[in-house]
Amino acid sequence: GQNIDQPTEMTATEGAIVQINCTYQTSGFNGLFWYQQHAGEAPTFLSYNVLDGLEEKGRFSSFLSRSKGYSYLLLKELQMKDSASYLCAVRDLSSGSARQLTFGSGTQLTVLP
């Protein structure tokens, strides 16, 4: 099975930088995803890492270290609209190709003016 840990809550100021960490334990790791979920809405895809290193996409970047079972999502130039829950999800192929994603509990980010 999988074990995914991320902080429950974080608070940051508009214009600042925030890093949301995620650690995982899985036997058949095949990719890590970050999703953004605003209250009452469905999650939307932000980033995907399968190799070690940093993936940058505009204000958002995601980092992966497979040997450490560790990822982080970096949000720069924070805006009020970035207030949301950020979900870390791991794909584990040891459970079969259909059972693809296991989600963490999410980190609720609050951006203050």
Partner 1 sequence: SQTIHQWPATLVQPVGSPLSLECTVEGTSNPNLYWYRQAAGRGLQLLFYSVGIGQISSEVPQNLSASRPQDRQFILSSKKLLLSDSGFYLCAWSVPGRRSYYMNTEAFFGQGTRLTVV
Nearest distance from C-beta of residue 73 to partner 1, angstroms = 15
* Cβ-based nearer residue to partner 1, 40 or 113: 40
Distance, in Å, from the CA atom of 71 to the CA atom of 83, rounded to the nearest integer, reads 20
Show the tokens assigned to 85.
């829950």
| Binding of partner 1 by 53 (CB under 8 A) | no
- Please write down the HEC assignment for all residues of 86-98: EEEEEEEHHHCCC
99 makes contact with partner 1 (CB under 8 A): yes
Regarding 102 and contact with partner 1 (CB under 8 A), the answer is yes
Residues 6+ apart with CB under 8 A from 51: 64, 66
| End-to-end Cα separation, the chain, in angstroms | 40
Sole window of 18-26, 61-69, 75-83, 90-98 interacting with partner 1 (rule: CB under 8 A) = 90-98
Kindly list the residues in this chain that would bind partner 1 in the complex (CB under 8 A): 4, 8, 30-31, 33, 40-45, 48, 50, 87, 89, 91, 97-106, 108
